[in-house]
Amino acid sequence: MRRNFIISAVVTAFGVVAIPSPSSALEVHWQTPARWHRTLKKSEPGTLALDADGVEFRSAKFSQRWKYTEIHTFDLSQRELTLLTYQNRHWHEPGERPFRFTLGEAMPPEIAAEFTERVEKPVRNGIPTAKAPTLAEIPAHHRVWSGGSNGILRLKEDGIDYLTENGDDSRTWRWVDIQTIANPNPYEFRITGYREIVEFDLKQPLARAVFEKLWDRLYTVGLNLSPSGDELHKTTLAHQEAHR
């Protein structure tokens, strides 16, 4: 009888661990080996972890945790993450304190998207979700002073993605990350975000109807209005002309 009780308890314990609750399936839980880079010091190896409440870096000499509300913004690429927190710099240096990490593993797109949503504020997320449905896909060249990159501009209901073949220079913008968009001619497209201005040369023309739908979507998000309606359409067109 005692033996059966012990076996039953072990089975029950493992059952609790193995079966996640419905809420835990929605939580961010991801970690990777990482190195924290410090000015004029050797980088510190450790582990970077994301969970439902925040981001944590653990190492033998340093451990710190940031709640999502304490993160002002972040820059994320395939193997790099810089957190800009509300923490002051040392020795009265101006600005807020950044924490830069090299990631041992690339963050999966779905984790990057969830991370972005939990921080809520405008960020720079360089890991788009490649399979998200689109309104249009246009081959494009990202124009920068050092040469730029080639990829696909993906225009979506919930934002804009730019995907490159090797992932370098890829970007994704939610509408909350964007201040305005411009299409001076069918072969140019510009995104003015809260953290950057990005210009594209389009290899195929952007249909006017698609651009107007994007414009309506961008400006109706903040107004909490439906993108449909003649009056709203006239208003957004007026904004469009004013920003050109």
Instruction: Write the CATH number of the domain with boundaries 28-125.
Output: 2.30.29.30
Domain limits of the chain?
28-125, 136-242
Asked if the model's pLDDT at residue 21 lies above 80, the reply is no
Note the pLDDT tens digit of each residue in 5-15: 444 443 334 33
Return d(Cα 218, Cα 227) in angstroms, integer: 9
Task: Look at residues 165, 171, 160 and name the one whose alpha carbon lies nearest to residue 75.
Answer: 171
**What is the reported pTM?**
0.74
Residue 197's SS3 state is strand
Note the pLDDT tens digit of each residue in 83-105: 999 877 666 554 578 899 999 99
* Same fold yes or no, 28-125 and 136-242: yes
The class of domain 136-242 in CATH terms is mainly beta
DSSP conformation letters of 21-61? -TTGGGS--EEEEEEEE-TTS--EEEEEEE-SSEEEEE-SS
Note the pLDDT tens digit of each residue in 40-78: 789 999 999 999 999 999 999 889 999 999 999 999 998
